[in-house]
Amino acid sequence: MGQKQKQVLEPSPDNETTKRRRVAFTGIGYEDVGVEAKDCIRIFLVSSKEEFEDPESFVINPVDLNSYFDNDGKIFGYEGLKINIWISSISFYSYADIVFESLSDRGKGVTDLHEALQSIFAETLVKSKDEFLQKYLTDNNFVRTNISNGEVLKQKAFNQADSDASNVEVVRLMAGNMPTGQLYCHIIPLVLLLVDGSSPIDVTDPQWELYVMVQKKTDQQGEIQCLLLGFTAVYRFYHYRGNSRLRLGQILVLPLYQHKGYGRFLIEVLNDVAISENVFDLTVEEPLDNFQHVRSCIDTQRLLSFEPIQPLVTKAVSFLKGGRLSKKTHSPRLTPPPSDVEEVRKNLKITRTQFLKCWEVLIYIGLNPTNKYMDNFVSVISERVKYDILGKDSGTSGKQLIEIPCDVNPEASFVMFKSGAGEDIITAQMDDNQTNQEEQLQKLVQDRVKEIQLIAKKVTSHLESSEVAAK
């Protein structure tokens, strides 16, 4: 989307950073141990000159700054290095202030800070502080201009305790055009910094769609401001018989707006799109734990009001209340029949894997009060986990859980191995590590039960709040 501009640490008689850079000494007699990027770089997301000058309340915490620097994230050649970076939440341009006491090559070279910062911020990096303050921190038209041709999908009024009521809307932008590409190229640095394992999408591919969430406010001059709160990137795949599938590839709510219901609103809009356009389903590419938690809360609540599966949930709950499963020779997994899995996919666009995760939460909620039947519930979860990991017959075929010695992370020192029928080599190893396998499986079961309890608590709390608000 354009060439990267060389804007940091370039020789200039008016560049204060360059002047400080020239105060350098030849380091002799001691080794340069370097400094980790995460220990000398601070990043702020600001929207005004006042926030720029007092930014401590607007710090953002990148997931992995070190990965943008060679030598295991170490920066060499600088003494007393401090890098402050401001990102405008108005236009998403950025400015870096680099300060150090001295610079010299003490045997490991001098890290090219310009190259490292360019790998993150690209053309959004501004050289001049004055230009950043006077232009890019006041450009209220940037977001509004780039979304002007988008399709407004849904609007909602939000009331926050720390601000006045404001309208929030989600706008769909199609990739493959200049405005969408420009907007995405400006927000991708925040994605790289805040979303673990992220990488840029191809904004020239028209199969990508951006769902941008903006907040509209009227300023003192009567002009409408559009603040970008978050976005998600969705890829539209072809599915047989002329249908399509939607795959969520990226989602980000800016740190200042997290934990306020905006992310939930964005996911709800995607669900509405999937249903209204009758796509095959809505999938998620490698969801992180936090996102998966929110997604499961939303889908569980949707399933609670989906009448066709309620008799199945009632039947499963009644079974668990009917007696102690420990007295039985085999605990059932209590999974819903394929016909109902398909019914959920057709009507709610929830995938089979996601539905089965929510299914366990539905049963847990139905057991209320749960303490009396907790042993039975844990038995069912344990049976499901064993089935998923070991397969139908752990002695002959399916997935095998094998302990592998590991000095890096002993708690995760196992692998899954899929064997064919009659392969005896896995059986022998399984016998040798049976105790360790049981411990690992038990840990997986405990973690899953805790996850279910957290989701159930949040879902029931949300439903109770909605009922109170409706009265």
Q: Where in the sequence numbering do the catalytic residues fall?
A: 285
Q: Nearest 10 degrees: CA dihedral of 253, 255, 256, 259? A: 70
At 289 the three-state DSSP class reads helix
Per the CB < 8 A criterion, the answer to whether 123 and 5 are in contact is: yes
Give the up-direction half-sphere exposure of residue 73: CA atoms within 13 A in the CB hemisphere: 11
User: Left, alpha or beta for 46 (phi > 0: left; psi -120 to 50: alpha)?
Assistant: beta
Phi-psi region of 92 (alpha: psi -120 to 50; beta: other; left: phi over 0): left
Amino acid at 132: F
* Alpha-helical segments (H) within 22-154: 37-40, 49-53, 70-73, 113-121, 129-131, 141-146
Distance between CA atoms of residues 418 and 125, nearest Å: 48
Query: In the β-sheet with 41-46, what is the strand arrangement from edge to edge?
Result: 59-60, 41-46, 82-88, 94-99, 125-126
Please give the structure tokens belonging to residue 207. 């199969």
Whether residue 203 contacts residue 184, with contact meaning beta carbons closer than 8 Å, is answered with yes
On whether the CB atoms of residues 68 and 119 are closer than 8 A, the answer is yes
Q: At which residue do the structure tokens 């989906």 appear?
A: 306
At 274, is the secondary structure helix, strand, or coil? helix
